[in-house]
């Protein structure tokens, strides 16, 4: 099994236009993965982590975007859901 390190994220406008949510991630090897690809990799037993400065957190899969009634699925989040730089939603976009 492999460990992937996420350093940046890509966001998109939600279907209802009310917010921007994660479209996918970019790893430290500069590879773009969609949310669905990350979730499939997690489900296959691989480990996904964020990295920001000295902070790091594990990425887990959730069924839906946490914003309102957004049905974007599957979705990913950091666990525990940190307010620090390592929170998936706080990583720089790139």
| 57 contributes a contact to Zn ion by CB under 5 A | no
Residues 5-34 that bind Zn ion (CB under 5 A): 14, 21
3-state secondary structure of 62: strand
Residue 67 CB contacts under 8 Å (≥ 6 apart), including other chains: 14, 18, 19, 21
3-state secondary structure of 4: strand
| 49 contributes a contact to Zn ion by CB under 5 A | no
Instruction: Return the structure tokens found at 53.
Output: 């400065």
| 67 contributes a contact to Zn ion by CB under 5 A | yes
CB of 19 to Zn ion, least distance (A): 6
CB of 13 to Zn ion, least distance (A): 9
- # residues near Zn ion by CB under 5 A: 6
3-state secondary structure of 38: helix
Q: Which residues bind Zn ion (CB under 5 A)?
A: 14, 21, 65, 67, 70, 72
């Amino acid at each position: 099994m492999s460990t992937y390190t996420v350093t940046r994220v890509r966001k998109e406008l939600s279907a209802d236009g009310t917010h921007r949510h994660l479209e996918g991630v970019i790893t430290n090897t500069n590879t773009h993965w969609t949310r669905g690809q990350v979730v499939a990799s997690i489900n296959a037993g691989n480990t996904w982590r964020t990295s920001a400065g000295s902070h790091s957190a594990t990425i887990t899969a959730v069924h839906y975007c946490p914003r309102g009634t957004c049905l974007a699925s599957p979705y990913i989040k950091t666990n525990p859901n940190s307010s620090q730089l390592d929170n998936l939603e706080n990583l720089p976009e790139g």
